[in-house]
Amino acid sequence: MKKIFYLISLLILSTSLKPINLEVYICVSKGAKKYHLVKDCNGLSNCKHEIKKVTKNDAESKGLTLCGWED
């Protein structure tokens, strides 16, 4: 009985939680291919353009992938 109650509770919690909209950093450049979890990432040190905070979903929709320094 406890197991069933526990499973039902988990199901209710998992369906009521909103997904986290993670914010990441990108270099606003035509040649940019990566997004970064922290603004101080070594991968952003070469950015000569604006560094902008966007959602991870937005970055991935532009075809950007996670920086190799941070994976």
Of residues 25 and 69, more confidently modeled: 25
Closest by CA position to 59, among listed 20, 24, 31, 30: 24
Of residues 35 and 19, more confidently modeled: 35
23-29, long-range: CB within 8 Å, 24+ apart, which pairs? 23/53, 23/54, 23/55, 23/56, 24/53, 24/54, 24/55, 24/56, 24/59, 25/51, 25/52, 25/53, 25/54, 26/51, 26/52, 26/54, 26/59, 26/62, 26/64, 27/51, 28/52
- Residue 68 pLDDT > 70: yes
